[in-house]
Structure 1
Amino acid sequence: MIWVFYVAVVLALIILATDLTLIISWRWNFKSHHFDRGTYPQVSILVAARNEEKNIESCLRGLLSVDYPKEKIEILVGNDDSTDNTLVIARALAEEDNRIKVFDIKTVLGQARGKANVLAHLANQARGEFYFISDADTRVQRGWIKNLLYAVHQNVGMISGVTAVAGKSLWARLQNMEWLNALGMLKVVTDFNVPVTGIGNNMMITREAYEKVGGYENIPFSIVEDFQLTRAMLAEGFKVINLIDVQVLATTKAVSELKGIFNQRKRWMHGALKIPVILKLILIAQALVLPAGLALFFYDFTLAISFLLLKISLRTTFTFFIYKKVKQKINFDAVLLYDLYVSLLSVMTLLYFVIPVKVDWKGRKY
């Protein structure tokens, strides 16, 4: 079985080379995309909300406080058949501030379903030149609108910000590290002109690009609606940009239950199957750290420990670059447990993905 050892060595080298490539690419090919427009165009913020009574008020108050001329903003909230007080709370806030407009969505447009259907309805009501999309459980920075707009230049159709997971527990910190590392890898690949996807809880799309593809109602439905819209825009020749900067940082809550994690990851897997090969290889390499380390351990303890320490050092370096951009501090307990967390979660997600059960998302089955 000596071949297992050689396979593990090759795999370990590939994993380390992947991390080193990410670090070098971040340092030498990071693109900021900052073009000050000097003007303030009309913008529309679209928020799809389903059973978000615990989050909708803080989300909307955060959007109302962004640093942008009040007369140039409208916030369109689409209630997606909520069974709680989401609609009541949203309407009460609309009474306080006329920038908020609330729509109770009851009909289906074209091929759109769920969140995509709500966004399709809101886009049809929007008056802005640019559509900003935020989830109802997300909080954005005051400079969110301006700094996404600063990245707009010729033929850009979609720009995504960066999202972090809020929370002090180890579980939340591990999710946060996972999100930021994933978005960091997405940034590296996109900066090499291999665009992958926008991030649907923190992104801006131009009205021109959205109308060119026909809107959500005219593209094939997918439970990863942001990925599907990205594919449609790329097919029409529009550019997609991913930003990582504290000014476009949004925060979301950690998923508290394992079942919720698995449903979230199963939904993401539907998009992951269609991502570029280079990003698939990077993600696979990250998921195989623990198997490679265990295989080396049974043949050469010193080599296994050296591999794991070097892996942690390289990944921590990459993580540090990302955290520095969004002005967060690295938690070293999460650093030490991160590779174990990712490896176990990847295996369990893959098993859950192949089980023939539907994705349960926001109380709906897909």
Structure 2
Amino acid sequence: MPEAIRERVSILIAARNEEATILTCLQAIDNLAYPPDCLEVLIGNDRSEDGTGSLVDQFICNKPQFRLVDITTNLNQQQGKANVLAQLARQASGQYLFFTDADTAVPPTWISGMLRPFQDPRIGIVTGCTQINGREFWATIQAMEWLVTQYLIKQFADWDIPLTAMGNNMAVRRPVYQQTGGYEKLPFSVVEDYQLFREVLQRGHSFAHLFEPTVLATTQPMPDWRSWMQQRKRWMVGAFQLPWYFAVLLVAQALFLPLLLLLALWQPLLALGLWLARFLWQSVQLVQVARQFRRYDFLPYLLPYDLVMSVNWLLSLLYYWLPTPVTWKNRTFNP
């Protein structure tokens, strides 16, 4: 194995009430094609109210590279996931900090694939890609949205335009992380991955986004519309911190359907043409994504996806503007 990929790696996982998914996550990490003596896995049990802690304890028995850390206090102003990661990073010994979620399963090639861009010394942070598990209608719609969004992020990254990172599939050089002060020194944010990404770039480091099967993780869909809206509210907190022109594009996407319907009252053919152009452009992207990751189950859903997401993007924008807190793992935070 080349020396470049034998760096010591620390995987940090924040876990709160994850008894339904944590074993799948840990089993995937246990199956990583990476030397165990170069790997440590720190699982932060964030005051779980279910059997998460005992399940982790049983799994890591006789696995010295795994360690369970009970999180019972907060560092500085941090809360929730950012607080857990801050405390785990303090205990980590790796030269690279890898982040994934307790409901996410990474592929065996994850470590070697994510380390590859770090051969460029300018790279400070790397983001992988993630797909949604499940073939039911709602799960498939979410899977399509996740992958086509990441496909667009990758295109911007290839033009050296940074957008965001994904905290369930992310890695950062430890010295670069320390330059930011770590999560305990960063302002609290419900989008802690974007907060770290932005801080890394502000310190002059570059970034990489990988959109390939070697780093393709799998996570769970939101089980219902309400939880999906809560997820989007968190994400939009980060989206509206992007440059103003991206925020304008986000709002335009959300308002596309009502504006199109309004236009159709006076210019129905023009409205139809605009919708068809958007639909074809979107479908081309989805077909490319489907081919790359062999998600051919996307193809029958091209039209339903456009209709469902046109409504959901509008509703998620309206929900974001409501003066309500963000809910995550049975906790509420002010965005």
Q: Deviations over 1:31-73 (max 9, x none)?
A: xxxxx87441010111100000010011000001011111111
Residue 118 (str. 1) matches residue 84 (str. 2): yes
Cα 1:265–1:357 shift into 2, 3 Å: same
Partner of residue 236 from structure 1, selected from 182, 185, 203: 203
Report the TM-score when normalising by structure 1.
0.86
The residue identity in structure 2 corresponding to 1:154 is P
Cα offset, 1:346, TM superposition: 1.9
What is the number of residues matched between the two proteins?
331
Taking the TM superposition and a 5 Å limit, the aligned residue runs for 1:256-275 are 256-275=223-242
Are the equivalent residues in 2 in contact too, given 1:244–1:325 (CA < 8 A)?
Answer: no
**Structure 1 CA distance for aligned equivalents of residues 166 and 299 of structure 2:** 27
SS in 2 for 1:132: strand
Match of 1:188 in 2: 155
Aligned counterpart, 1:334: 301
Whether the 8 Å contact between 2:101 and 2:167 is mirrored in structure 1 is yes
Aligned to 1:18: none
Deviations 1:278-335 (A, max 9, x none): 4334433433442344234333444443433332221111122233333322523421
Shift in alpha-carbon separation, 1:234–1:38, aligned structure 2, 3 A: closer
Query: Is residue 131–residue 147 contact of structure 2 (8 Å, CA) maintained in 1?
Result: yes
Matched, 1:210 2:177: yes
1:54 aligns with 2:13: no
Tell me how far apart the structure 2 counterparts of residues 42 and 197 of structure 1 sit (CA, whole Å). 26
**8 A contact 1:209–1:233 mirrored in 2:** yes
Checking the alignment, whether the CA contact within 8 Å between 1:55 and 1:136 is kept in structure 2 is: yes
What corresponds to 1:91 in structure 2? 57
Deviation (angstroms), 1:226: 0.5
Letter in 2 for 1:140: V
1:355 aligns with 322
Specify the SS of the correspondent of 2:314.
helix
CA distance in structure 1 between the partners assigned to 2:310 and 2:280 by the alignment: 17
SS at 2:296 equivalent: coil
Of 315, 319, 327, the residue aligned with 2:286 is: 319
Aligned-partner Cα distance in 2 for 1:37–1:276: 39
1:286 is matched with: 253
Q: Which residue of 1 aligns with 2:164?
A: 197
Give distance in 2, aligned partners of 1:64 and 1:175.
27
Change (3 A) 1:106 1:269: same
Deviates more, 1:192-201 or 1:73-82: 192-201
Amino acid in the other structure paired with 2:68: V
Residue deviations 1:237-267 (CA, integer Å, cap 9, x gap): 1112211111111111110122111111111
1:348 is displaced (CA, Å) by: 1.4
Unmatched runs of 5 consecutive residues or more in structure 1: 1-35
2:108 corresponds to which of 139, 142, 150: 142
**What percentage of aligned pairs have identical amino acids?**
38
Report SS of the residue matched to 1:251: strand
Q: Find the aligned partners of 1:185 and 1:39 in 2 and give their Cα distance.
A: 28
Deviations 1:187-237 (A, max 9, x none): 122222221221001111110110111100011110110011111111111
SS of 1:52's equivalent in the other structure is coil
Residues 1:64 and 2:30 aligned together: yes
- Map of 1:25 onto structure 2: none
Are 2:13 and 2:43, in contact at CA under 8 Å, matched by a contact in 1?
yes
| SS of 1:177 mapped into structure 2 | helix
RMSD: 1.7
Q: Do the aligned partners of 1:198 and 1:240 also contact (CA within 8 Å) in 2?
A: no
Seen in structure 2, the aligned counterparts of structure 1 residues 190 and 281 have a Cα distance that, compared at 3 Å, is farther
Higher RCO, Cα 8 Å, sep 6+? 1
TM-score, length-normalised on structure 2?
Answer: 0.93
- Which range is displaced more, 126-135 or 307-316? 307-316
> How far, CA to CA, are the matches of 1:364 and 1:151 in structure 2?
36
